[in-house]
């Protein structure tokens, strides 16, 4: 494969990637593909090479139903904060595909990995948390390339998820990712399609030499 | 390009990616490539489609030297925490390529973007910060595909960087990325080569159904 093809292929995957809720088929994930996806996540950069992530693969239906019920309760909590017009838009938005997807992947952050002196973290405590997110994006892109959808669920309380999966108190759950084969990926983000919020032009987020103020959106 | 080639190309880029300090040539970045890389970053998923990131492109030598001096001071601060054996290993490690790279890209987080009701952030305040990191990993992979190196510098105080680039008080700097053409990328992470820390097997970070305790490392 030429360099040009490799570059084109990466951009194709990167722009095709979507946050998936509706399109899961529930079909099993080929074990080889899952292994490649997890290996991709684990190949992410990390502060001080701490590799502070863990991936808990959740297939059990009872666990998933318990989590889904909690997410639905949190969805109602958020809904109660909205004015009627936003609530109407929100009512059309699906926020999770926990049971429809084939697998839950819970990603956690372990601040003790590589401690006491994590190189590059003494001034910025959150740098370890940032590393975990880089791994998540690797996972997301690899899954997209493999024909799998990924949906990040964030309507939950960290303590509830910690208790549900026996995650030690010192660790922090960062994401519940719904993962699995999909019928397809939509061209537009769900939230844009539903009229919740639009994508903004890239020019609006690029600055030169220093931050320039502009009207917030 | 077949799906198989696209998948192979993505994994090649993803595993070739390195955190770069030594290999920058200082050659200019082709404007088209830079635009594609920033567009890739901006195509990342974000909580509630908030797109809470900004990218400040820093070319000015005076600004870069001021930041480099601050980073060196922070390097000394970290060094002072180490025992003699670790300090010896650390002395061989380069932590930044601020002046050698072609461009500094400072990535910030704006919690007000899309507020007041950011969908998916009511229970997890840091979800917006997580989105910014996903954009950084998109940027990193796109740059790698384009033949550019990226080095994340985290030896700095957020307030110092905020003042240097006139970043408003409500925003949070998340990264200074050194970006530019490189002579090549090493096979091994710098920290592994230097004997600071090794990569751990992926099997060690994968759990099934719930978190299993194991000896920390």
**Distance (Å) from the alpha carbon of A101 to chain B's nearest alpha carbon:** 15
What total of structural domains would you count in chain A?
1
Tell whether the model's pLDDT for residue B215 goes beyond 60. Answer: no
> Which pLDDT value is given to residue B116?
87
> Which pLDDT value is given to residue A116?
86
**Distance (Å) from the alpha carbon of B157 to chain A's nearest alpha carbon:** 6
The residue among B129, B99, B97 whose CA lies nearest residue B111 is B129
Burial class for A44, CB neighbours closer than 10 Å (0-12, 13-18, 19+) = buried
> Which pLDDT value is given to residue A217?
45
A144-184: per-residue pLDDT in tens? Answer: 999 999 999 999 999 999 999 999 999 999 999 999 999 99
Owning domain of residue B110: 24-195
C-alpha to C-alpha distance for B176 and B103, rounded to whole angstroms: 10
Judge whether B3 lies within some domain: no
Interchain CB distance below 8 Å, B119 and A210: no
DSSP string, chain B: --HHHHHHHHHHHHHH--B-SS-B--PPPPHHHHHHHHHHHHTS--GGG---EEEEEE--HHHHHHHHHHHHHHHHHHHHHS-HHHHHHHTT-----TTTSSEEEEEEE-TTTT-SS-TT-SS-TTHHHHHHHHHHHHHHHHHHHTTEEEEEE--S-HHHHHHHTT--TT-EEEEEEEEEEBS---SS-HHHHTTS--PPPGGGGEEESS-------
* A chain contacts of residue B73, beta-carbon cutoff 8 Å: none
Question: Average pLDDT for residues B95-122, to the nearest whole number?
Answer: 96
Task: Note whether B10 and A8 are within 8 A (CB).
Answer: no
> Which pLDDT value is given to residue B4?
87
**Distance (Å) from the alpha carbon of B14 to chain A's nearest alpha carbon:** 7
> Which pLDDT value is given to residue B177?
98
Beta bridge partners of A109: A53, A172
Question: Which of B5, B19, B39 has the CB atom closest to A45's CB atom?
Answer: B19
Judge whether A141 lies within some domain: yes
The CB density around residue B19, as the number of other CB atoms within 10 Å, is: 22
B176-210: per-residue pLDDT in tens? Answer: 999 999 999 999 999 999 999 999 999 999 999 99
Provide the b/e sequence for B24-45 (b: ≥16 CB within 10 Å): beeeebeeebbebbbbbbbbbb
Cα B177 to Cα A65, B55, B78, B162, B205: the distances in Å are 41, 10, 20, 15, 27
Question: Average pLDDT for residues A138-142, to the nearest whole number?
Answer: 98
Tell whether the model's pLDDT for residue A93 goes beyond 90. Answer: yes
Tell whether the model's pLDDT for residue B216 goes beyond 60. Answer: no
Beta bridge partners of A19: A150
Question: Which of B10, B14, B55 has the CB atom closest to A206's CB atom?
Answer: B55
Tell whether the model's pLDDT for residue A13 goes beyond 90. Answer: yes
Q: What are phi and psi of A151, to 5 degrees?
A: -130, 120
B8-57: per-residue pLDDT in tens? Answer: 999 999 999 999 999 999 999 999 999 999 999 999 999 999 999 999 99
Band of the pLDDT at B3, cuts 50, 70, 90? confident
Band of the pLDDT at B6, cuts 50, 70, 90? confident
> Which pLDDT value is given to residue B217?
45
Interchain CB distance below 8 Å, B49 and A199: yes
Judge whether A72 lies within some domain: yes
* B chain contacts of residue A192, beta-carbon cutoff 8 Å: 49
Number of residues written out for chain A = 217
Task: Note whether B98 and B68 are within 8 A (CB).
Answer: yes
Q: Which of B51, B205, B209 to mutate to test the interface with A (most CBs of A within 10 A)?
A: B205
Domain containing residue B158: CATH number: 3.40.109.10
- Residue B6's closest chain A neighbor by CA? A9
B56-86: per-residue pLDDT in tens? Answer: 999 999 999 999 999 999 999 999 999 999 9
CA angle A64, B47, A77 (to 5 degrees): 60
Band of the pLDDT at B1, cuts 50, 70, 90? confident
Question: Average pLDDT for residues A102-116, to the nearest whole number?
Answer: 96
Interchain CB distance below 8 Å, B130 and A197: no
Judge whether B109 lies within some domain: yes
* A chain contacts of residue B50, beta-carbon cutoff 8 Å: 197
* Chain A contact for B169 (CB, 8 A cutoff): no
Judge whether A153 lies within some domain: yes
- This prediction's pTM: 0.97
Q: Which of A137, A143, A174, A203 to mutate to test the interface with B (most CBs of B within 10 A)?
A: A137
Question: Which of A42, A113, A140 has the CB atom closest to B202's CB atom?
Answer: A42
The CB density around residue B126, as the number of other CB atoms within 10 Å, is: 18
Interchain CB distance below 8 Å, B45 and A217: no
* B chain contacts of residue A113, beta-carbon cutoff 8 Å: 216-217
């Amino acid at each position: 494969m030429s360099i040009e093809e490799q570059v084109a292929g990466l951009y194709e995957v990167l722009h095709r990637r979507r946050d998936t809720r509706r399109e899961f088929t529930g079909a099993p994930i080929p074990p080889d593909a899952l292994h490649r996806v997890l290996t991709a996540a684990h190949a992410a950069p990390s502060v001080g090479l701490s590799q502070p992530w863990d991936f808990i693969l959740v297939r059990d239906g009872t666990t998933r139903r318990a989590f889904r019920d909690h997410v639905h309760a949190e969805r109602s909590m958020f809904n109660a904060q909205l004015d009627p017009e936003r609530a109407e838009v929100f009512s059309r938005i699906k926020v999770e595909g926990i049971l429809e997807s084939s697998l839950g992947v819970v990603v956690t952050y372990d601040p003790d990995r590589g401690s006491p002196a994590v190189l590059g973290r003494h001034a910025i405590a959150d740098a370890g948390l940032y590393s975990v997110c880089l791994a998540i994006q690797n996972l997301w892109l690899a899954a997209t390339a493999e024909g799998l959808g990924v949906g990040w669920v964030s309507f939950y309380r960290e303590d509830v998820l910690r208790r549900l999966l026996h995650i030690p108190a010192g660790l922090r759950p960062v994401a519940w990712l719904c993962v699995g084969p999909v019928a397809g990926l939509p061209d537009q983000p769900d939230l844009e399609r539903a009229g919740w919020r639009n994508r903004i032009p890239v020019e609006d987020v690029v600055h030169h030499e220093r931050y320039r103020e502009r009207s917030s959106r």
